[in-house]
């Protein structure tokens, strides 16, 4: 009987591992293929039939990518826009979510639903008017202007994420802080935020990634002084075809900081993702 | 107090993450916003113009822009954007009226869509200018009776072939005995069919490629067949199912369906795939844009073994679809006089565009200046193709891009899927195009 249970458990576990492996392959394959392509020779890049592993490994694509004009500047612009947008998103989302969760008013509920609706508007519908607005306030082709535009994308999601995390933090903690003489803001800053730090980290990463990978607003709002990497990567697609080798090399380089950031904050992300699950 | 314990156990102390993030963000935000202001002042102070261009075509303008800056003191900012993104950017700015550029580099097929928002450049089209441009470039610049763009460079498909295969005495003998005439770069549809079938020895070598995912090559064959236009005639009437379109489609698709002279995957084959097949030595011939001749990689097995010839001829002779790009000035631009000065300068110094990675120009005299150098062996066939009587541009219709994306490419993809009924496909395409153009 014990052996039967043990066998069944092992079979279930094997099946789960196989499923997990299939999902990982499904998700990881395009990225792994991109990375491997970046090490291929120009003639092997889109060989017919395609080759998975490079026949000859080369760093020539990375050299060409990094030597392309505007690449280091674009990397810096991406970092600027993403950092500013992340800070703006958190500065606005944390108090907004705190107000909604702690006061529980009807306007608060309407506001949070409204934030969700804003998320449903196609970015292109916002993009064209933003061109005019940024031009008129002199923020066109600046990292700040682009970061503000990116915040319109990340803010609704940030508010929703933060609301779910703050909802999971017991109100009794705020009350205890208030009894000890803290103000509302003091309670938020000194007591609630440290408890929800994991959630804030997750929200920050989502906001950062939303800006880091964003293409449309960067295309419409930047020219020389703030052009970000997604546009520079897309520039390798010309009217006569795609420079696969250089493009994949640059995309590989561009994904490194995000991978490192995710690894660095891995514990916080896991903690943040489970924070909403222990609400009560 | 699970949250506290989680917090205690973390490597980032209380709020450290937030403080670090906040400090980093502010440190970046302040110089970024201050920098934007400084740049605006600098831009207002010194003479400068902004030119938006396609990433692949930026090189064509770089030397001209540098010389313009040197001679006039005006800074030229070349803003490089991806091909599809450039259209969206220009479209967005012209429709909103909020412009960030003074000059735009436009593909000929976009001109009809933007013509209403572009400044007239009639005064630049003098008789001398028109005489030094290919007729298709002059007609492509004129929309609704007004010139709206100055050509920067043009291109056309020509024939690429493997010199090593065509020059082999063994191949020459075999070809002569099978077809009864000498092996040479084909000049007609019949010769192209013969040579393509002769060299098809798959899977290592095929005669040529068949591009199902792009429409321009089929359109060139339509002109070679003698059609008065491609898809639409001069009056805008839909002619996509006329006998010339049918003959061109039969010639084009039969290479795949009947003669099987191309590698698998015709419906997905586009420019990049075709170029790659040829550069890998998998095809003996390729109809392709002329600029690709000097760009064959040194590690390609066909490097140094490629010859070029004019595009093949049908009943109406040689014909190609020109692919010109123009410089245009927006009607509501802030810097119109300077922008117009740059357009004239670009035309006057058009030969500089040849010294770029794309290596193309717009003026006949610029091409002629370089055509005898071995590196520019593709210029002579390109000139012959562009000067051919049957070579004309694509219709000046604002819906052209939509016609291409939603009708022509899907129709071509269906035509290379085995038992296609070419007449039925063209008839169906006719009603689709009719619906689009109204």
pLDDT digits (tens, 9 = 90+) for B274-296: 998 899 899 999 999 999 999 89
Render pLDDT for B378-432 as a digit per residue (tens, 0 to 9). 999 999 999 999 999 999 888 998 999 999 999 999 999 878 999 999 999 999 9
Chain A residues whose beta carbon lies within 8 Å of the beta carbon of residue B3: 169, 173, 194-196, 275
**Mean pLDDT score, B193-220:** 95
The total of structural domains in chain A comes to: 1
Which of B82, B109, B401, B404 best probes binding to A when mutated, by most A CB atoms within 10 angstroms?
B82
Residue A4 lies in a domain: no
**Which chain A residues have a beta carbon less than 8 Å from that of B279?**
42-43
B297/A43 Cβ within 8 A: yes
When CB atoms are compared, the residue of B80, B92, B270 closest to A220 is B92
Q: For residue range A93-102, list pLDDT tens digits in order.
A: 999 999 999 8
Judging contacts by C-beta atoms under 8 Å, the chain A residues touching residue B17 are 197, 200-201, 204, 265, 268
Average the pLDDT over each of A75-89, A113-127, B108-122, B315-329 and give the range with the smallest value. A113-127
Instruction: Search chain B and give the residue with CA nearest A270.
Output: B6
> How many angstroms separate the CA atoms of A248 and A41, rounded?
12
pLDDT computed for residue A8 by the predictor: 83
CA closest to B29 among chain A residues:
A84
- Report the CATH number that the domain containing residue A268 is assigned in CATH: 1.10.3720.10
Query: Could you read off the pLDDT of B220-273 as tens digits, one per residue?
Result: 999 999 999 999 998 999 999 999 999 999 999 999 999 999 998 899 888 888
Rounded CA separation A233/A229 (Å): 6
Residue B206 DSSP label: B
- Classify strands B103-107 and B48-54 as parallel, antiparallel or unpaired: parallel
- How far is residue B415 from each of residues A11, A188, B237, B285, B312, measured CA to CA in Å? 50, 66, 23, 21, 21
**CATH homologous superfamily for the domain B157-321+399-437:** Periplasmic binding protein-like II (3.40.190.10)
pLDDT score of B325: 94
Question: Which residues of chain B have a CB within 8 Å of the CB of A87?
Answer: 21-22, 24-26, 29
Of the candidates B323, B100, B61, B60, which has an alpha carbon nearest to the alpha carbon of residue B214?
A: B323
Question: pLDDT exceeding 70 applies to what percent of chain B?
Answer: 89
Distance from CA of A195 to the nearest CA of B (A): 5
- Which three-class secondary structure state does DSSP give residue B205? coil
Of A42, A237, A240, the CB nearest to B82: A237
Q: pLDDT, tens digit, for every residue of A202-229?
A: 899 889 999 999 999 999 999 888 999 9
B339: CB partners within 8 A, 6+ apart: B49, B102, B103, B119, B329, B333
Q: Are B269 and B212 in contact (CB under 8 A)?
A: yes
Domain membership of residue A141 (yes or no) is yes
Q: Do B96 and A195 touch (CB under 8 A)?
A: no
CATH 3.40.190.10 maps onto chain B at 42-155+323-379, 157-321+399-437
The single-letter DSSP state of residue B310 is P
Range of the domain at A86: 69-227+255-278
DSSP string over A145-157:
HHHHHHHHHHHHH
Is the Cβ pair A83, B28 closer than 8 Å? yes
**Beta-carbon contacts of residue A17 (< 8 Å; ≥ 6 apart):** none
* Nearest-neighbour CA in chain B from A100: distance (Å): 20
Q: Identify which of B6, B56, B92 has the shortest CB distance to residue A131.
A: B92
pLDDT digit string (tens) for A180-196? 888 888 988 888 888 88
Q: Is the pLDDT of residue A273 over 70?
A: no
> Which of A43, A149, A211 to substitute to test the interface with B, most B CBs within 10 Å?
A43
| B151 DSSP 8-state letter | E
ipTM topping 0.85 = no
Contacts of B282 in chain A (CB under 8 A): 48
What does the pLDDT read at residue B39?
A: 45
Q: Under the phi-then-psi rule, with left for phi > 0, alpha for psi from -120 to 50, and beta for the rest, what region is B159?
A: beta
Pairs of CB atoms within 8 A across A/B: 196
Asked if residue A7 belongs to a domain, the reply is no
Band of the pLDDT at B42, cuts 50, 70, 90? very low
Q: Are strands B150-153 and B146-147 parallel, antiparallel or unpaired?
A: unpaired
Q: What is the pLDDT of residues A225-259, one digit of tens each?
A: 899 999 999 988 887 777 888 999 999 999 988 88
User: Residue B25 — pLDDT band, cuts 50, 70, 90?
Assistant: low
Strands B48-54 and B75-81: parallel
According to DSSP, the β-strands at B325-328 and B103-107 are antiparallel
Judged by CB atoms closer than 8 Å, whether chains meet at A275 and B3 is answered as yes
Residue A93 confidence (pLDDT) = 94
Position B2 scores a pLDDT of: 37
Q: Tell me how close the Cα of A27 comes to any Cα of chain B, in angstroms.
A: 24
Query: What is the C-alpha separation between A249 and A61, in angstroms, rounded?
Result: 6
pLDDT at B43 over 50: no
What is the β-pairing status of strands B103-107 and B142-143? unpaired
Q: CA nearest B85 in A: which residue?
A: A219
Chain B residue whose CA is closest to A276: B3
Better-predicted residue by pLDDT, A279 or B294:
B294
Is there a domain that residue A260 lies in? Answer: yes
Residue A261 in domain: yes
pLDDT given at position B326: 96
- B337-372, pLDDT tens digit by residue? 999 999 999 999 999 999 888 899 999 999 999 989
pLDDT at position A119 is 76
Return the bridge partners of B142, or none: B147
Q: Which residues of B touch A138 (CB under 8 A)?
A: 36-37, 40
Question: For the residues A197-201, what does the mean pLDDT come to?
Answer: 86
| pLDDT for res A169 | 87
Answer whether A162's CB lies under 8 Å from A200's CB.
Answer: yes
Q: How many CB atoms lie within 10 A of CB B35?
A: 16
Q: Mean of the pLDDT values across residues A62-91?
A: 92
Q: Is residue A239 part of a domain?
A: no
More confident of the two residues B251 and A272: B251
The minimum CA-CA distance between B262 and chain A, rounded to whole Å, is: 12
The C-alpha of A30 sits at a distance from chain B's nearest C-alpha, in angstroms, of 19
Interface test with B, best of A77, A84, A202, A203 (most B CBs within 10 A): A84
A219 and B14 within 8 Å at the Cβ level: the answer is: no
Confidence (pTM): 0.78
Peptide bond just before A91 cis, omega within 30 deg: no
Q: Report the alpha-carbon distance of residue B416 to residue A130 in Å, rounded.
A: 44
Backbone phi, psi, residue A238, to 5°: -105, 180
CB atoms A236 and B54 under 8 Å: no
Q: What are phi and psi of B153, to 5 degrees?
A: -155, 160
pLDDT tens per residue across span B113-166: 999 999 999 999 999 999 999 999 999 999 989 999 999 999 999 999 999 999
- The pLDDT assigned to A271 comes to 65
CB atoms within 10 A of CB A14: 10
Q: How many CB atoms lie within 10 A of CB A21?
A: 10
Cβ contact B276–A43 (<8 Å): yes
Measured CA to CA, the distance from residue B49 to residue B393 in angstroms comes to 30
CATH topology of domain B42-155+323-379: D-Maltodextrin-Binding Protein; domain 2 (3.40.190)
Confidence of residue A48 (pLDDT cuts 50, 70, 90): low
pLDDT band of B198, cuts 50, 70, 90: very high
> Is residue B3 scored above 50 in pLDDT?
no
The pLDDT tens digits for B83-126 are 888 998 999 889 888 888 999 999 998 999 999 999 999 999 99
Residue B41: pLDDT over 70: no
Residue A208 falls within a domain, yes or no? yes
């Amino acid at each position: 009987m014990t052996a039967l249970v043990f066998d069944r458990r092992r079979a279930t576990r094997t099946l789960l591992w196989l499923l997990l492996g299939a999902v990982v392959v499904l998700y990881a394959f395009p990225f792994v293929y991109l990375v491997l392509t970046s090490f291929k020779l120009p003639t092997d890049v889109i060989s017919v039939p395609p080759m998975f592993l490079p026949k000859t490994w080369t760093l020539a694509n990375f050299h060409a990518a990094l030597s392309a004009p505007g690449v280091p500047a674009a990397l810096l612009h991406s970092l600027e826009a993403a950092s500013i947008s992340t800070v703006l998103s958190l500065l606005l989302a944390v108090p907004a979510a705190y107000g909604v969760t702690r006061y529980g008013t009807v306007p608060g509920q309407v506001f949070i639903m409204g934030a969700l609706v804003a998320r449903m508007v196609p970015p292109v519908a916002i993009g064209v008017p933003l061109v005019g607005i940024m031009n008129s306030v002199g923020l066109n082709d600046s990292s700040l202007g682009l970061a503000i535009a990116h915040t319109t994308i990340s803010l609704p999601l940030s508010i929703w994420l933060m609301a779910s995390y703050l909802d999971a933090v017991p109100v009794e903690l705020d009350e205890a802080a208030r009894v000890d003489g803290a103000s509302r803001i003091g309670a938020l800053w000194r007591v609630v935020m440290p408890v929800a730090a994991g959630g804030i980290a997750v929200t920050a990463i989502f906001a950062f990634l939303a800006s880091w990978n964003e293409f449309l607003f960067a295309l419409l709002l930047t020219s020389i002084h703030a052009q970000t990497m997604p546009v520079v990567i897309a520039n390798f697609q010309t009217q006569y075809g795609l420079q696969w080798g250089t493009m994949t090399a640059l995309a590989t380089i561009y994904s490194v900081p995000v991978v490192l950031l995710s690894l660095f904050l891995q514990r916080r992300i896991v903690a943040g993702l489970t924070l909403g699950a222990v609400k009560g | 107090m699970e949250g506290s314990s989680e917090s205690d156990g973390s490597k980032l102390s209380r709020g450290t993450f937030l403080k670090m993030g906040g400090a980093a963000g502010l440190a970046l935000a302040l110089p970024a916003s201050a920098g934007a202001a400084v740049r605006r002042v600098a831009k207002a102070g010194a003479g400068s113009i902004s030119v938006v261009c396609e990433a692949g075509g930026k090189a064509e303008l770089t030397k001209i822009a540098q010389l313009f800056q040197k001679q006039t003191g005006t800074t030229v900012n070349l803003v490089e954007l991806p091909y599809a993104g450039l259209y969206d950017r220009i479209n967005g700015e012209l429709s909103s009226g909020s412009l960030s550029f003074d000059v735009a580099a436009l593909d000929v097929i976009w001109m009809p869509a933007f013509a209403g928002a572009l400044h007239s450049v009639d005064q630049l089209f003098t008789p001398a200018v028109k005489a030094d441009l290919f007729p298709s470039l002059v007609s492509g610049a004129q929309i609704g009776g007004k010139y709206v763009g100055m050509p920067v460079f043009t291109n056309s498909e020509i024939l690429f072939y493997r010199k090593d295969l065509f020059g082999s005495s063994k191949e020459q003998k075999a070809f002569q005995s099978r077809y009864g005439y000498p092996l040479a770069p084909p000049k007609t549809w019949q010769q192209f069919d013969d040579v393509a079938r002769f060299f098809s020895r798959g899977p290592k070598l095929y005669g040529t490629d068949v591009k199902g995912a792009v429409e321009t090559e089929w359109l060139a064959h339509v002109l070679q067949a003698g059609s008065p236009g491609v898809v639409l005639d001069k009056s805008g009437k839909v002619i996509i199912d006329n006998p010339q379109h049918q003959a061109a489609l039969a010639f084009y698709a039969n290479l795949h369906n009947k003669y099987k002279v191309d590698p698998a995957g015709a419906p997905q084959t586009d420019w990049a795939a075709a170029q790659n097949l040829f550069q890998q030595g998998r095809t003996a011939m390729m109809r392709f844009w002329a600029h690709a001749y000097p760009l064959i990689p040194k590690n390609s097995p066909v490097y140094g073994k490629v010859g070029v010839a004019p595009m093949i001829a049908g009943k109406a002779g040689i014909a190609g679809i020109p692919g010109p790009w123009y410089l245009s000035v927006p009607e509501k631009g802030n810097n119109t006089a300077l922008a117009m000065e740059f357009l004239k300068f670009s035309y006057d110094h058009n030969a500089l565009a040849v010294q770029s990675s794309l290596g193309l120009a717009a003026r006949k005299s610029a091409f002629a200046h370089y055509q005898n150098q071995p590196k520019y062996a593709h210029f002579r066939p390109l000139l012959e193709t562009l000067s051919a009587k049957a070579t004309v541009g694509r219709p000046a219709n604002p819906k052209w891009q939509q016609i291409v994306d939603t009708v022509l490419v899907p129709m071509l993809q269906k035509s290379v899927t085995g038992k296609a009924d070419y007449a039925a496909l063209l008839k169906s395409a006719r009603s689709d195009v009719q619906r689009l153009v109204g």
